Structure 1
């Protein structure tokens, strides 16, 4: 299964929050700080993120092969709030949008009601596509604090090397401890 971002999330940590955390009052470094917030968030969020979950509300699309005609599809990157659409290719490879009454979302699973509408579909690569909305309406405090701590590290250590040692700056133990309960291992 491949997951693509259809609609990316809005920033989950605002510039004002980051500046307050850094104790920056002027506007000269706003662009730099916004970039650091974006970098820290992207490191954690969505299909490429370390956490294995969606942080801000976003629309994702799961693209599956239909070699086994699944009646249960487990979606990735919780929390999942809704399914926007299920589309599959028919035998002529024409896209068909499944009737929402033929499936339901239970937790992270899209479950076919009765025989899957896509049971007689074309069984090629990415023949089934499930669009869904995932992410937090209100970001949990530990994740917000972890992003702010990461921004603080990036702000304090703007260079990739220091005169003392040429080592990269890893995720701190504190940040990892805050994030570990939210990490999804697949």
Structure 2
């Protein structure tokens, strides 16, 4: 698919056919692709942001990249979501669900490998007063925020379900270390 959503049908190009049926098939495929391309833009930005981070978290756990997968992007979105003093409605709809994807899908890896990350990330936190970077104390701090957030009436039910799933995953990661 090209930028404008139009395709070049390889069968049509290879055969060199110019019959009405082939042209119609090519046009049909092009219109279908253009419709699919435009449909992706009907997905709200918040959902696309969440989906991006869910995919990244799942890639981190897949082992495809070995131990070289960069957790810092996940850690940064967790800090942006959980360590803001007064999150806006927009932050609750974007960063919080994205961070919860990391905590739900990659909590074991974050807990295991987080300490090996650099300490420069997460230094701009508004709520965390400890040292930059990942630590067991910061992990417990995040869990306490998840517990409080589950009772927050400003957070919708769908996000509360994600909060619960992330909390369960973090609890499992805690138990796995022992």
> Fold conserved (TM > 0.5)?
no
Q: When the two structures are superposed, what TM-score results if normalisation uses the length of structure 2? A: 0.26
The higher relative CO (CA closer than 8 Å, separation ≥ 6) is in 1
Question: TM-score, normalised to structure 1's length?
Answer: 0.25
Which has the larger helix fraction?
Answer: 2
Greater strand percent: which structure? 1
